[in-house]
Structure 1
Amino acid sequence: MNEEIFEKDEWTQEEYLNYKDELEKQGINVLLVDTVLKPIDTDNCIKYNPYEMALLPKDKTVFVFYCDTGKSTKDRLEFYRNKLPGYRCISLHGGRGYWRPNFRLLKKP
């Protein structure tokens, strides 16, 4: 696994999409975690539920937490990491407010 990906505590939407593609090629599932009960329209969004999240394999799962602005999840990141020891936990920069539903990465030929 590329450790440089996890040097930052928060990812922009572009970083999230890039890293998600890269990690999924390695068999690692990257999930958006909804902490405000306002799901982002994507196939890999789950509600924050530490009990169910802890059932997922630690070495094959990355959680990307989001709220409305990204501030609360960044402030609470250590709380989430303590609740889910051994998991990779990241905050989504800007939260739902900065999420662009039509944003796509251009694939390089």
Structure 2
Amino acid sequence: MFEKDEWTQQELYKYTKELEKEGINVVLVDTILKPLDNIETITYNPYEMSQMPENTVFVFYCDTGKTTKERLNFYRKKLPNHKCVSLRGGRGYWRPNYQLFDEM
């Protein structure tokens, strides 16, 4: 899951479920001051984010996903004790009514 620098919306939901079982928090980070629909986000603030537990995973998004992917190394330097990932496609690919169903 952490081999890739970016997650799709489906992977975000899937990995969030898996990591929450292990007690790891996944936080969606808004870098463009445009919150996504139907999911909780926080605004990028390195100081506040560095105060979160060390096993927290931050998923950054912008309008297209390109800028946050390019800036991942910058975010990782600012938050060395946390995992940082980019949301693939950013806000443009976000489907507000998307749901992840458990397999039967």
Could you list the structure 1 runs, at least 4 aligned residues long, displaced by more than 3 angstroms after superposition: none
Work out whether 1:95 is the aligned partner of 2:82.
Answer: no
Q: Per-residue deviation at 1:44?
A: 3.1
Q: Counterpart in 2 of 1:39?
A: 35
| TM superposition score normalised by structure 2 | 0.96
Equivalent pairs, count = 104
Greater fraction helix: 1
Aligned twin of 2:4? 8
Unaligned 5+ segments in structure 2 are none
Tell me the residue number matched to 1:81: 76
Measured on the aligned residues, the alpha-carbon RMSD in Å equals: 0.9
- List aligned pairs for 1:64-79, cutoff 5 A: 64-79=59-74
For 2:67, give the aligned amino acid.
Answer: S
TM-score, L = length of structure 1: 0.92
Looking at structure 2, the residues matched to 34 and 77 of structure 1 have their Cα atoms a distance apart, in angstroms, of: 14
Gaps of 5+ in 1: none
Provide the secondary structure at the position in 2 that maps to 1:53: helix
Select 1:51's aligned residue among 47, 65, 70.
47
